[in-house]
Chains A and B, each alone.
Chain A
């Protein structure tokens, strides 16, 4: 058996920009491995780049292109964290090359989950096509009433966060559900942020919202927060974009939000979740068709039909019932 023991590295919680800038000084050499398209799956080309003051990954790539590999393909434009062109993976993590300080040893890969055109350049058209398919503009139900429109900052809280998006695709690369490929139809964090700009705008017409949300898979989000972790604009993608979108879907297409609405109703009645009731009401009785699992769960005491049918936590249930708003149905 090949045992790979865990290596305790020095703490990275002190990984601020200041800390990074003190790791290297003028005269040091930065060792970089860059993924090249030619040469197969494991082709990394090694470079050594002299450290310059406050060097960013982009500076290193520019140095390599200027002096060592003029055919290296990579994108950049503004160099100031605004255009979203230069996202790559550094040591496995999605970063903006123009803003990320270098480490003494780095491996640079292209973003995941998008086709690689060459080296570090990925094809953004799957994303662009998906966003275009949402018809991402407002279609008002009522004609524009005239300036000023009564709109508060609270109304636009989620949308204003979504508008911070620079379409860098870091979140899309980090998303493990998108990483499963064709297994799901999940939209992905980046498209959903674009979608939120119109779907969560209170000026948008109800018909437009309902028809757009009908064909969208939002509920495959696993809430892992990997998107929030890498977003250079610090958009709270899960809590301010995806969850409000889920709420919208639950309002206009409750049949798509079955699991969430069943979850809510169980808490309202029991105070706690009974997983048996949750699974049976979400999946239907076909959940019982996995006989082997049902028997194993019964034998190990992991399900308790008596408790499911007759158990009640009175005080908890009463409290939950008071706080949970009833569905309008």
Chain B
């Protein structure tokens, strides 16, 4: 099936491994992705606050680019998803705004009529592909993995925005964990906030909030975490060393991107999926597959 692919800024820079993994996994899943290379950033939270008209215009432009090819647009980042959905709603509900935006798009030869469907890779797995087909494509299971899902705020709130998941009804990542043969872990941080959107200015908020989530995951037996958002991943993984300061035992909690977890079950190798590009490394990935640790790993342990 064909989809327009909007990777977002993070997957093209600090989380480039997410882009690599997603493209590999999409191929295996039979998703034909057309990347929107001439798109722009969706503006995260900052642009929406300080220049709302630019925010709506740039997001509708992304939707218009997908509409040109008559394709739904698939994201791999929660905030991108929220922004596109937000702009779509504003465009559909405010004809004056829609006209203004289309005037600006016309300078580029673009036009938007409001028809693009917006989806996230997580939703594609369940809605486009479905659990039965996924199960049949998973050639490898991960019985040695206890995985704690970190959904991220922007695909769970505000409520009623997303028909697929909301903060009281999120089970998609846990269901996926079962499909790949692993054990989903319950803990307090599942639908909590990582604090990414204040992290560039003041890391303290993100570091403190997320340290609690990782601590809970660890206390409940998780050996890894998975998230569908690279912004959450950046806090959980890249800022994890900061969370270890003053802690008796460092967390050592590896964090996977959603497409990496799916990729492992599809038979792709960890280094193809660039799991080695994370800040927190996985020390015993063979254990996840239920294989005994290799001789080298046993000696290092």
Q: Which residues of A contact B (CB under 8 A)?
A: 1-8, 11-13, 15, 176-177, 180, 183-184, 219-226, 228-229, 236, 238-239, 242-244, 246-247, 250, 257-261, 263-264, 267, 271-276, 278-279, 282-283, 292-293, 296-297, 300-304, 307, 313, 315-316, 319-320, 322-325
Contact = CB atoms under 8 A, between A and B. Distances in A.
Nearest to B279: A296
A4 B185 contact: yes
Nearest to A186: B205
Contacts of A279: 200
A79 B279 CA distance: 53
Contacts of A260: 46-47, 49-50
B92 interface: no
Contact of B168 (A12, A222, A319, A323): A12
A8 B146 contact: no
A3 B205 contact: no
Interface stretch (B13-21, B111-119, B122-130, B131-139): B13-21
A274 B14 CA distance: 9
Given A228-B158, A283-B200, A267 B48 contact: no
B17 to A, nearest CB: 8
25 contacts: A2-B220, A4-B187, A5-B186, A6-B149, A6-B185, A8-B174, A13-B169, A15-B168, A177-B198, A177-B205, A222-B196, A223-B197, A224-B157, A228-B158, A239-B48, A260-B47, A260-B49, A275-B200, A293-B238, A293-B241, A297-B14, A297-B279, A301-B277, A302-B238, A316-B37
B104 interface: yes
Given A2-B221, A275-B14, A222 B47 contact: no
| The 10 residue pairs across chains A and B that have the minimum distance between CB atoms | A3-B221, A225-B157, A224-B193, A263-B46, A4-B220, A246-B49, A6-B184, A273-B9, A260-B46, A13-B169
Contacts of A320: 40-41, 54, 58
Given A180-B208, A261-B50, A229 B158 contact: yes
Given A180-B208, A223-B197, A279-B200, 4 more contacts: A6-B171, A176-B192, A274-B13, A324-B47
Interface of B: 9-10, 12-16, 37-41, 43-54, 57-58, 61, 86, 104, 107-108, 146, 149, 153-154, 157-159, 166-169, 171, 174-175, 177, 183-187, 192-193, 195-198, 200-202, 204-206, 208-209, 219-221, 238, 241, 276-279
A282 B201 CA distance: 6
A237 B297 CA distance: 51
Contacts of A224: 153, 157, 192-193
B205 A220 contact: yes
Contacts of B202: 184, 220
B53 A325 contact: yes
A176 B193 contact: yes
Contacts, number: 212
Contacts of B221: 1-4
Contacts of A282: 200-201
Contacts of B149: 6
B47 A264 contact: yes
B54 A184 contact: no
Contacts of A292: 241
Nearest to A225: B157
A269 B200 CA distance: 19
Given A11-B169, A247-B50, A279-B200, A180 B205 contact: yes
Q: Which residue of A236, A292, A322 has the most chain B CB atoms within 10 A of its CB atom?
A: A322
Given A183-B208, A319-B58, A222 B50 contact: no
B157 A267 contact: no
A92 B288 CA distance: 33
B277 A223 contact: no
B219 A2 contact: yes
B220 A323 contact: no
A319 B220 contact: no
Given A304-B13, A325-B51, A315 B46 contact: no
B171 A8 contact: yes
A272 B9 contact: yes
